[in-house]
C-alpha cells in the first residue's frame, strides 16, 4: 500500500494571507487539525496546526487585554505557520510503512503529500495510516480471525496456504510478527471468510509444526 492509496485527496488548504482566526474557524468547522498553507498553483509554503494557533502564556504575558485582541485580529496565517523548511512531506509513491516510521520517528501527526514543485495533492494523518493498517489486516470484512504460530523455516507458510487453497477459504487480510518468547518462531494473523471457527481450528491444528494460538469470529 502506498501513500496515494490512503491519503485524503483535495485537502482543505488556506492561503497565507488569511487571518489566523479564520483559519482556526475553518479547522473547527471541518473537524481537522492541520491545514497546509499554499500559494498560487497549490504550492506548499507551510503548515498550520491547532497547537500553532494556541495562545502561549509567555507570548501574551506582557500584553494588556486590548493589545491581545488587536494583535490576534491582525495575525495572519503567514506569521504563525510552520515554514516549509521545517515541514516533513511525502510523495504519493512512498510506502505507508516508511511514512508511518517517519511519523513515529519525528512524532508528527500529519504529512502533506506533494508532487514535483511542492504541489499539494493530498494529506496523510495518523488516523489515515491507522485505518489503512486495519484494512490490511482485513478489519472491515466479517469472518474468522486466527493467529498461528510457526517456525521461520522456508516452506512453513506455504503449508498453511496450501490448506487454505484446499479448503477454499478466502484470505481477507494477513499480517505477521515475531514471537518474543520463542526465538525462531513467529505469529501469522489471518482473516478468513467463508469459514467456520471450529473447522478452522481443527484443520489448522492438524498442520505439523504449527499451532493455533488464538481464534475468534468477527461479525
Partner 1 sequence: MTQPSAPILKVENLAVAYKVRGGEIEAVQNVSFDIHRGDSHGIVGESGCGKSTVAWAIVNFLGANGYVKRGSIKFLGQDLVGKSPEELRRLRGDQIAMVFQDPMQALNPSMRLGDQMKEVLTVHRGISESEAEDRCVDMLQRVYMPDAANVMRRYPHQISGGQQQRVVIAMALLNNPALLIMDEPTTALDVTVEAAVLDLIAELRREFDTAIMYITHNLGVVARVCSQVGVMYAGEMVERASVERIFAQPQHPYTQGLIRCIPTLGEDKASSALYPIPGRVPPPNARPAGCIYAPRCDYAQQRCRDERPALRLLADGVQVRCHFTEEIDPGQWTPPEEVEEMVETVNGQADAATPASTNNGKPILELHDLRKYYPVTGGSLRDVLGLGEKRFVKAVEGATFSVPKGSTLGIVGESGCGKSTLIKTIIGLEDSTSGQARFMSFDITEGLSERNMALIKELQMVFQNPDSTMNPSYTVGQQIGRPMVRFGTVPRSQVRDEVIKLLQSMRLGANYYDRLPRQLSGGEKQRVGIARALASRPDLILCDEPVSALDVSVQAAILNLLLDVQREQNTTMLFIAHDLSVVRFFSDNVAVMYLGQIMEIGPADAIYRPPYHPYTEALLSAVPIPDPTVKQKQIRLEGSVPSAVDPPSGCRFHTRCPRRKLLPDDGAICTRETPPWQEAGDGHRIFCHLPLETLASFDPVVESLATH
Q: Is residue 50 within 8 Å of residue 125, measured between CB atoms?
A: no
By CB under 8 A, is residue 12 in contact with partner 1?
Answer: yes
Which CB atom, from 132 or from 210, has the smaller least distance to partner 1? 132
Tell how strand 211-218 and strand 143-151 pair up.
antiparallel
What is the closest distance, in whole angstroms, from the C-beta atom of residue 5 to partner 1 in the complex? 11
By CB under 8 A, is residue 19 in contact with partner 1?
Answer: no
State the DSSP string of 139-170.
Answer: TTS-EEEEEEEEESSTTHHHHHHHHHHHHT-E
Out of 29, 64, 166, 183, which residue is the one contacting partner 1 (CB under 8 A)?
29
By CB under 8 A, is residue 213 in contact with partner 1?
Answer: no
Out of 1, 2, 21, 26, which residue is the one contacting partner 1 (CB under 8 A)?
26
Residues 6+ apart with CB under 8 A from 68: 55, 60
What is the closest distance, in whole angstroms, from the C-beta atom of residue 46 to partner 1 in the complex? 16
Which three-class secondary structure string do you get for 98-111? HHHHHHHHHCCCEE
Tell me how far apart the alpha carbons of residues 143 and 170 are, in angstroms, rounded to a whole number.
10
Residues 6+ apart with CB under 8 A from 152: 178, 184, 185, 186
By CB under 8 A, is residue 13 in contact with partner 1?
Answer: yes
Out of 58, 105, 116, 183, which residue is the one contacting partner 1 (CB under 8 A)?
116
By CB under 8 A, is residue 140 in contact with partner 1?
Answer: yes
Q: Which residues bind partner 1 (CB under 8 A)?
A: 8-10, 12-15, 26, 29-32, 38, 40-43, 116-117, 119, 121, 127-128, 131, 135, 140
Amino acid at each position: 500500500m502506498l501513500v496515494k492509496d490512503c491519503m485524503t485527496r483535495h485537502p482543505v488548504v488556506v492561503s497565507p494571507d488569511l487571518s489566523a482566526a479564520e483559519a482556526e474557524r475553518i479547522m473547527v468547522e471541518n473537524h481537522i487539525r492541520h491545514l497546509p498553507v499554499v500559494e498560487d498553483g497549490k504550492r506548499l509554503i507551510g503548515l498550520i496546526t491547532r497547537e500553532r494557533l494556541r495562545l502561549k502564556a509567555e507570548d501574551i504575558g506582557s500584553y494588556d487585554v486590548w493589545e491581545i485582541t488587536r494583535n490576534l485580529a491582525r495575525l495572519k496565517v503567514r506569521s504563525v505557520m510552520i515554514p516549509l523548511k521545517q515541514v516533513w512531506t511525502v510523495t504519493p509513491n512512498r510506502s505507508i510503512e516508511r511514512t508511518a516510521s517517519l511519523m513515529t520517528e519525528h512524532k508528527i501527526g500529519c504529512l502533506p503529500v506533494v508532487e514535483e514543485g511542492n504541489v499539494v495533492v493530498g494529506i496523510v494523518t495518523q488516523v489515515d495510516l491507522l485505518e489503512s493498517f486495519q484494512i490490511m489486516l482485513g478489519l472491515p470484512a466479517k469472518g474468522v480471525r486466527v493467529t498461528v504460530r510457526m517456525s521461520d523455516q522456508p516452506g512453513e507458510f506455504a503449508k498453511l496456504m496450501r490448506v487454505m487453497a484446499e479448503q477454499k477459504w478466502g484470505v481477507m487480510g494477513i499480517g505477521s510478527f515475531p514471537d518474543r518468547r520463542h526465538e525462531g518462531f513467529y505469529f501469522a494473523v489471518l482473516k478468513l471468510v467463508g469459514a467456520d471457527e471450529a473447522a478452522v481450528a481443527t484443520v489448522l491444528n492438524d498442520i505439523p509444526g504449527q499451532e493455533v494460538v488464538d481464534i475468534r469470529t468477527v461479525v
